[in-house]
A and B are shown apart, each in its own frame.
Chain A
Amino acid sequence: MGNGADIETLGRLALFADLTRPQVEAIAHTFEEEMFPEGQRVLRQGFSGSNLYVILDGEAAVVIDGTERTRLGRGEFFGEASTLLGTPPTADVVATMPLRCLVVPAAELERFLMAYPAVAIRMLKDEVQRLATTLQWL
């Protein structure tokens, strides 16, 4: 048991801030931690079967058709859109330094969000914020 990340690290992330310690511990025991070297692709544009990644440490670039669009850091997540919609990601996500992530497999994401509505609300607010930012630029 305990394949996942350090419980203290997880508990400090905004996404999991509303959870009790046993809940955070259950997440740490359920999902695996993965580390990617600098330059490694984590999410691949156009490839099916991706997962949700929550950044525990490090930084990643979001790249669409070879052009970098934004950077993601600790506590941010990616892969949720393609995972929830069941479609291939529309961007590459590439580690710009050693990147440590918690991995939530696609098949478990819906069950995970229903088990922890507080995480779903946090994620929804983040999506709305991203949408608002995008609309501002249109």
Chain B
Amino acid sequence: MALTFPPAEYPVVVVGSGPGGLQTSYCLSRLGIDHAVLSADEAPGGMFRSLPIFGRLLSWSKPDAPFEPGTREYEWYDHNSLLADDPAHRALVPAEMNRSFAVPSRAEMEAGLTAFAERAGVRVQYGCRWESTRRAEDGGLVLHTSTGEYRCRAAVFALGVTDPWKSDIPGIEDVPHYAETLEPRAYEGKRVIVIGKRNSGFEIADGLLPWARRVVLVSPRPVQTSVLALSSVRVRYMQPLEDAGLGGGTLALDAAIERVERTGEGGFRVHAHGTTRPGEIELEADAAIAATGFRTPLLDLGEVGVQTVAQGRIPALTPFWEAVGAPGVYVAGNATQGAAGLRRHGVGASSPAVHGFRYNARVLAEAIAERHFGVVPERSLLAPNEIAPFLARELAHGPDLWAQKAYLARVVTLEAGGGARDAGIQPLAHFVDASGPDALAVTIEMNAVGEIYPVAYVRRAGSVTERVLDPEPAHAYDMPRYEAELVGLLPS
């Protein structure tokens, strides 16, 4: 059978056929950048071919929304579909949903991604497992795969954060990982300990509520829900937390686990030390699950210089998602969380979710096209009286800015004569740190008490200053008073 992408030299190689890989490939194609896409899987979908365990996603795709499906503004109400220029290729996940929930099932998500790959014509060499990497003498990269060797000038690794990872606790090796959770009925009548109090831990607890005799969640960090938008546990999985708060069958303990032992009856005994409240804790259970998270399967990328954060789990990245220490190695998808951005008021980017990283992929494709191939997309000119209304509309409805608050910004460069040129979407950290022509950038930000408001950044004579605008309860940032504020930031 003829290969879709036979082993050869390509300008760019993309590894992965989950949402990050598909979106990057789509965007590179739109810019005319020739590339190969390699995937160890047999079909598109990535992580969503097998996870989440209980089969439903976290984030919404509202089939009925203030804007029509297929418009750019609608993207903010559909957190799961990939981005496309042709309206017929947009909003494909809600089209698959049966509307019994506002969040898609795993199967609906997978169907939406498959439909995107087919209709938008994203071609992938399936069944091709990337195995190792080396730096070529000319500075390019060589990817060794189960199909043969692929050479490229730049590689994009869209690997997900999908390798089960366990924290360093003695005895945890005997505890099944979240990914190995059994059918719920296997836990009937059992006392279950879940190690971990983030989404995967609460997803398990929620799924086992109708089955297990008792679920105890344990980890050092307390769950904080005072600002829901900043909580480490999404509202979908709050039921066990409410039960715990009411003193019900579920317990959520803040404790650092010292060790886990097997008991004679096939169960587990956990020895822990309280963190929020000091004290020794000993727990017995009939079953245990380590919801301790995942890591990016980076294989040997450390050999070409890739460095990591979060105990080796996530690649450390520049604002344009290039690996720190490995020029030409880029990352797309969930692992783009390795670039935290300005983290203003402690609030990080939305890069661990499709709705955030789909925009990263588009900016990444543009950066690769420009840096490695000198390809710059055509940008429109704005007359002096068009600049402020354009930016105000972006603040009100630009899905890139709403999805990637304080990470991505809309930039216009100011031209002689009072006009401006749309400079597209850029990482905010790049805009404020890189020198460049006089320009204005706008984005949406959130602070630690959950207020959402616009911020403008003005670059004049190489120096950038910020202008924080007032929050508005209905987020109507295209109102005349915001336009007037933006006009005030332009040179008179």
Interface residues of A (CB under 8 A from B): 1-7, 20-23, 25-26, 28-30, 32-37, 40-41, 44, 46-51, 98, 100, 103, 105-108
Contacts and interface: CB of A to CB of B under 8 A. Distances in A.
Interface stretch (B51-59, B64-72, B343-351, B388-396): B343-351
Nearest to A52: B346
Interface in B340-385: 340, 342-348
Contacts of A100: 309
B345 A46 contact: no
A31 B256 CA distance: 15
Given A25-B220, A105-B343, A48 B468 contact: yes
Given A1-B293, A3-B310, A44-B432, A51 B465 contact: no
Nearest to A83: B346
B356 to A, nearest CB: 16
Contact of B307 (A2, A29, A35, A105): A35
A2 B257 CA distance: 12
Given A26-B275, A28-B220, A107-B345, 18 more contacts: A1-B195, A1-B197, A1-B198, A1-B219, A1-B221, A22-B275, A26-B220, A30-B220, A34-B309, A36-B324, A37-B324, A41-B433, A44-B432, A46-B466, A50-B344, A51-B343, A103-B346, A106-B448
A22 B220 contact: yes
Most buried by B among A3, A7, A33, A98: A3
A106 B292 contact: no
B338 to A, nearest CB: 8
Interface string B193-208: 0011110010000000
B311 A2 contact: yes
5 contacts: A1-B293, A26-B221, A35-B308, A49-B445, A105-B448
- Which 10 A-B pairs give the minimum distances between C-beta atoms? A105-B346, A107-B448, A49-B344, A35-B316, A22-B256, A22-B273, A26-B220, A26-B275, A25-B256, A49-B345
Interface of B: 167-168, 195-198, 201, 219-221, 254-256, 258, 273-275, 278, 291-293, 307-311, 316, 318, 324-325, 340, 342-348, 432-433, 445, 447-449, 465-466, 468
Nearest to B465: A46
A20 B273 CA distance: 10
Given A1-B293, A6-B311, A29 B220 contact: yes
Contacts of B343: 34, 51, 103, 105
Contacts of A47: 342, 344, 432, 466
A3 B199 CA distance: 13
Nearest to B255: A22
A22 B253 CA distance: 14
A136 B48 CA distance: 62
Contacts of A36: 324
B340 A32 contact: yes
Contacts of A3: 293, 310
B384 to A, nearest CB: 28
Given A22-B220, A35-B309, A105 B196 contact: no
